[in-house]
Amino acid sequence: MKNTLLKDFPVIIECPVAWGEMDSFKHVNNIVYFRYFENARIAYFDKIDMMAYKESTGIGPILASIQCRFKAPLTYPDTVSVGVRVSRIGTDRFTMEHCVVSHRLGKTAAEGDGVLITYDYGNLKKAPMPPDLKQRILDLEKGNVDSL
């Protein structure tokens, strides 16, 4: 089930739904989904060694925008699998897609995407996408990325 729903995502993490993530409406609060996205995004960055790349070059990602489409409410107890992939790479940005799948419900609970800018942290400004960083992403994605 979840393997089928996340088959196109090269990085997948699992997160337990915590009782404290629910709000007064008795479902997981909407902000928590962004935390799930963030956890998956960091796992993706770990796979391409993004933090070491940023430390050595000063160039790294900075989140420019993010959105979420809620498909089904999550409740405790549950576990979610969160998939993340890069769907587009531009000259100074890339788009990451996220998908949250509920194990209990057996379906997608949320989908979203974020735009990340390649940022020069030393000079505090946008930077062009470095070719070697682009290649790291393409290698993980096996080339299934649209270039803009």
Q: What is the pLDDT of residues 25-60, one digit of tens each?
A: 999 999 999 999 999 999 999 999 999 999 999 999
Q: Nearest Cα to 61, choosing from 114, 130, 118, 115? A: 118
pLDDT for the residue 81? 98
Q: Whole-angstrom Cα distance, residue 148 to residue 146? A: 6
Report whether pLDDT(78) > 80: yes
Report the chain's mean pLDDT, rounded to a whole number: 95
Report whether pLDDT(1) > 90: no
- Asked if 27 contacts 75 with a C-beta cutoff of 8 angstroms, the reply is yes
